[in-house]
């Protein structure tokens, strides 16, 4: 029997002693309850391993984080952000679910959904680009997951094809919430500076301060990936829900074109292209998709399409939104 308490699930063990008396023991899952397998991915502070629950034989992906390294590099806050956001987003098919967390002397462990298909980026690279049908399907699932995330007050801030995983049904599972922002205060009640610009909160400051600084010189080295960073983060150092929709526009462009819209030799040049809205559609880019991307890659975040607008855009015509979208068979990638 299992029940879950804020992502940290426990199992109840029943014991019957020699006199026939029953006792129950609540046991938290730990390292010893899993068989660890192949490496699925490696980040600067963590490794993701495939693992199997010894009792249920359920397969998971376990993110193993090195405590000493995290403390030394002052990343404790971001590890907590990741755990808290995942706990807040526990109930959507398009978002990697956190089942258990535990630790030992050396490491922290996050037990997550296993996405056996790996990164969406891998498929884009392998195929060169997607056709309109596949872009519509994967775009719709990504958008549905963003809508859920935003409804729970979470901005991802680092959406890109590497953070879009695919499960055994080739359905989307968004991952990597270590750089997410949790909205707790309604934005309109936030204090303003004397210049009328909203005051930055700590999450925005930390996030923005790390942009444009070479990795080895960063005090706090997390940053949205250059190619998908929104212009408002570069100019005002602030992210909003619209920042995820900028990244969504970049992803739609990339699926159809085979490359992200803003790409240059280095990060600085990429940022220049972004703030100048300097990008071009390749020949043959579908007109209806071009219209959608042009309404998403808009410098002023308040002038971008909203999620509702995107859902009713002609590019997504015929898509069944909501629960139906997750019951559909994925189109074969070709």
Active site (catalytic) residues? 158
Instruction: Indicate left, alpha or beta for 214 from its phi (over 0: left) and psi (-120 to 50: alpha).
Output: beta
Nearer to ligand ADE, 110 or 271 (CB): 110
Which residues ranging from 151 to 210 are in contact with ligand ADE (CB under 6 A)? Answer: 165, 175
Nearer to ligand ADE, 41 or 212 (CB): 41
Tokens representing 83 are 């755990």
Contact in structure between 142 and 163 (CB atoms under 8 Å): no
Contact in structure between 119 and 162 (CB atoms under 8 Å): yes
- Least distance to ligand ADE from the beta carbon of 62, Å? 9
Nearer to ligand ADE, 70 or 115 (CB): 115
Kindly indicate which of the ranges 86-94, 107-115, 249-257, 305-313 contains the residues binding ligand ADE, using the contact rule CB under 6 A.
107-115
Burial 151-186 (b: 16+ CB within 10 A, else e): ebbbbbbbbbbbbbbbbeebbbbbbbbbbbbeeeee
- Least distance to ligand ADE from the beta carbon of 87, Å? 16
Give how many residues touch ligand ADE by CB under 6 A. Answer: 12
Task: Pick the binder of ligand ADE from 70, 79, 112, 234 (CB under 6 A).
Answer: 112
Residue nearest to ligand ADE (CB): 61
Task: Pick the binder of ligand ADE from 61, 108, 120, 292 (CB under 6 A).
Answer: 61
d(CA 247, CA 120): 15
Looking at residue 116, the DSSP 8-state letter turns out to be T
Cβ partners under 8 Å of residue 310, min gap 6: 143, 245, 248, 292, 296, 316
Binding of ligand ADE by 113 (CB under 6 A): yes
Nearer to ligand ADE, 114 or 140 (CB): 114
Torsion on CA atoms 74, 75, 77, 82, rounded to nearest 10: 180
Tokens representing 38 are 């192949």
Contact in structure between 33 and 55 (CB atoms under 8 Å): yes
Which residues ranging from 229 to 288 are in contact with ligand ADE (CB under 6 A)? Answer: none
Nearer to ligand ADE, 48 or 233 (CB): 48
Looking at residue 246, the DSSP 8-state letter turns out to be H
- Least distance to ligand ADE from the beta carbon of 164, Å? 11
Binding of ligand ADE by 53 (CB under 6 A): no
Contact in structure between 186 and 135 (CB atoms under 8 Å): no
Binding of ligand ADE by 114 (CB under 6 A): yes
Kindly indicate which of the ranges 72-80, 113-121, 248-256, 280-288 contains the residues binding ligand ADE, using the contact rule CB under 6 A.
113-121
Encoded one letter per residue, x for contact with ligand ADE by CB under 6 A and - for no contact, window 10-49 reads: ------------------------------xx------x-
Interface residues with ligand ADE (CB under 6 A) are 40-41, 48, 61, 96, 112-115, 118, 165, 175
């Amino acid at each position: 029997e299992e029940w879950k308490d804020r992502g940290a699930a426990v199992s109840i063990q029943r014991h019957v002693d020699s006199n026939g008396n029953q006792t129950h023991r609540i046991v938290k899952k730990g390292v010893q309850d899993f068989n660890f397998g192949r490496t699925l991915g490696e980040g600067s502070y963590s490794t993701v391993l495939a693992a199997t629950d010894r009792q249920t034989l359920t397969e998971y992906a376990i993110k193993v984080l090195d405590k000493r390294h995290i403390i030394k590099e002052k990343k404790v806050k971001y590890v907590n952000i990741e755990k808290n956001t995942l706990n807040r987003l526990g109930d959507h098919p398009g978002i990697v679910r956190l089942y258990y967390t535990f630790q030992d002397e050396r490491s922290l462990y996050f037990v997550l959904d296993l996405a056996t298909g790996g990164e969406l980026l891998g498929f884009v690279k392998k195929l060169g680009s997607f056709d309109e049908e596949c872009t519509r399907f994967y775009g719709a699932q990504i958008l549905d997951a963003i809508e859920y995330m935003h409804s729970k007050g979470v901005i991802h801030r680092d959406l890109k094809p590497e953070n879009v995983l695919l499960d055994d049904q080739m359905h989307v599972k968004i991952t990597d919430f270590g750089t997410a922002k949790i909205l707790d205060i309604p934005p309109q009640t936030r204090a303003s500076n004397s210049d009328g610009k909203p005051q930055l909160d700590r999450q925005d400051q930390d996030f923005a301060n790390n942009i444009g600084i070479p990795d080895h010189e960063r005090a706090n080295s997390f940053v949205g990936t250059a190619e998908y960073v929104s212009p408002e983060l570069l100019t005002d150092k602030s992210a909003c829900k619209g920042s995820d929709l900028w990244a969504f526009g970049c992803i739609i462009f990339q699926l159809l074109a085979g490359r992200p819209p803003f790409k240059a030799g280095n990060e600085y040049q990429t940022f220049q292209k972004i703030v100048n809205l300097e990008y071009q559609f390749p020949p043959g880019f579908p007109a209806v998709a071009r219209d959608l991307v042009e309404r998403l890659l808009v410098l002023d975040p308040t002038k971008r399409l909203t999620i509702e607008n995107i859902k009713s855009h002609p590019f997504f015509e015929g898509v069944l939104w909501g629960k139906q979208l997750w019951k559909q068979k994925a189109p074969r990638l070709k």
